[in-house]
Amino acid sequence: MFSYSALTDPDLFDLVKSEDEAAFKEIYERYFDVLYIHAYKRLQDKEEAQDVIQEVFTALWDKREYIILTSSLPAYLFTAVRNKILNTLSHRKYESSYIQSLQQFINKGICQTDHLIRENQLQTLIEKEIAALPPKMQEVFSLSRNAHLSHKEIAAELNLSEQTVKKQVNNALRILRTKLGLLIFLYLLFKNNF
């Protein structure tokens, strides 16, 4: 009776080339464990190590007609496993880098988005309260805070005294501080000074 286990690697591989599945099974059983241990030592992941070995043996079967062994079958298999391990490690590193980059982008985006939303809400609230000021006070305050004009420049533009302009700005700030609260008032007071 014929026994595949008694055949040499070159004889088995010749049979594999002629589509002998039993010869392929013998090679698989002969080298799976040692290749798996080698892959596991490098990858430290059972599933990845098993996937690497499966891919190597699948490629061996699929490309059997084109493979020319220039050295021994074990040398060919170990080289194929080593290359798959390097590909896996490279992919793992790339994937980790990509995930870190994506996480940083998400974190930064969430913070920026949250900050922009809060700033827009705050700005809308401030504009609403400024719009509720008496018209002349609103005009003086707008020239002071939005146009960045000095009290003297506002007084000249609106034909008012500097004292009146100063009083209007102070009154506007007092009203806004009462309505908006201290933190929003400080934001309003200092936002144009930075």
Q: Which has more confidence, 72 or 131?
A: 72
pLDDT over 80 at 12, yes or no: yes
State the pLDDT confidence band at 141, using cuts at 50, 70 and 90. Answer: confident
User: Which of 44-53, 91-100, 130-139 is the least confident region?
Assistant: 91-100
Q: Which of 77, 41, 84 is nearest to 57 (CA)?
A: 77
172 vs 81: which has the higher pLDDT? 81
The whole-model pTM stands at 0.50
pLDDT score recorded for residue 105: 66
Give the residue, 22 or 124, on which the prediction is more confident. 22
Distance of CA 122 to the CA centre of its chain: 30
The string of pLDDT tens digits covering residues 44-85 is 999 999 999 999 999 999 999 999 888 899 999 999 999 999
Q: How remote is the C-alpha of 41 from its chain's centroid?
A: 30
The CA distances from residue 41 to 20, 30, 95, 135, in Å, are 32, 19, 21, 79
In order of their start, the domains of the chain are 4-97 (1.10.1740.10), 132-190 (1.10.10)
Average model confidence (pLDDT) for the chain?
83
pLDDT surpassing 90 at residue 39: yes
pLDDT at 194: 41
Compute the distance between CA of residue 188 and CA of residue 194 in angstroms, rounded to an integer: 11
pLDDT at 80: 95
Q: Distance between CA 99 and CA 36 in Å, rounded?
A: 28
The predicted model gives 137-160 an average pLDDT of 84
- DSSP readout, the chain? ---GGGS-HHHHHHHHHTT-HHHHHHHHHHHHHHHHHHHHHHH--HHHHHHHHHHHHHHHHHTTTT---SS-HHHHHHHHHHHHHHHHHHHHHHHHHHHHHHHHHHHHHHHHHHHHHHHHHHHHHHHHHHHTS-HHHHHHHHHHHTS---HHHHHHHHT--HHHHHHHHHHHHHHHHHHH-HHHHHHHHHTTT-
